[in-house]
Amino acid sequence: MVRRLSAEPVGVPLGAGPLHAVVLGASTGGPPVVEKLLRDLPRDFCAAIALCQHMPPGFTSVWAQRLDGICKLDVKEANPGGSFEPGIVHVAPIGKHMRLVREDDGEVTIRLDADFADSLHVPSIDILMSSAAQAFGSRMLAVLMTGLGADGALGMLAVRRAGGHTLCQSADSALAYSMPGSAVELGAVEEEVSADEMAAVITDRVRGVL
């Protein structure tokens, strides 16, 4: 089920054209939801994808390799200074904050920074989404999935304020709804989508289909 919420309309209307980037954020209960989502995305998915999943140290590299073996899209752990390429899932490594930066020549690159603020989560979904909002503005989609706490809520709000688009996992399909629910409470979510429908809805939104 897709439920449209009353987020304030800003920027390019949803469905008005193709999107260039998707940022996924998840925490508690996230790995199986993320795996299903990525497995269901089509081979010709044209946007670049950044993924931040809260995990223990050392797990993201192995998980990225596993995802690469079961998904139609290429999946890899993000490299500092690497190009944020379309059709690839770039997984944020544990222990560094991942940011997307638009360079002077227009290319978007990946930056990995040490944490100097004693952040609760490293990498932070808020930081990743906020950087993507600056890099892509109205031509991006932020997706917040199951998780405890509130990481990602402010990032979703930053995306909306930059004219970008947002959706979150529905309460009835999330193991932990506090992360998506925090974004809903801020008025930062346009659509709430069940886990089973998420891949199809994301694919449509990236293609500019409402």
List the catalytic residue out of 20, 54, 97, 121: 54
Rounded distance between C-alpha atoms, residue 62 and residue 64, angstroms = 5
Paired tokens of 46: 């044209």
The set of residues, in sequence order, having a beta carbon less than 8 Å from that of 193 and lying 6+ positions away, is 1, 2, 3, 167, 168, 169, 170, 201
Return the number of other C-beta atoms located less than 10 Å from residue 129's C-beta. Answer: 33
**Looking at this protein, which amino acid is placed at residue 111?**
R
Strand order in the sheet with 191-193: 2-4, 191-193, 165-169, 140-144, 21-26, 48-53, 88-91, 74-77
List the catalytic residue out of 27, 124, 173, 182: 27
Paired tokens of 43: 């081979």
Does 97 participate in catalysis according to the annotation? Answer: no
As to burial, measured by CB atoms within 10 angstroms (0-12 exposed, 13-18 middle, 19+ buried), residue 187 is middle
Does 90 participate in catalysis according to the annotation? Answer: no
List the catalytic residue out of 97, 151, 165, 170: 151
Task: Give catalytic residue positions.
Answer: 27, 54, 151
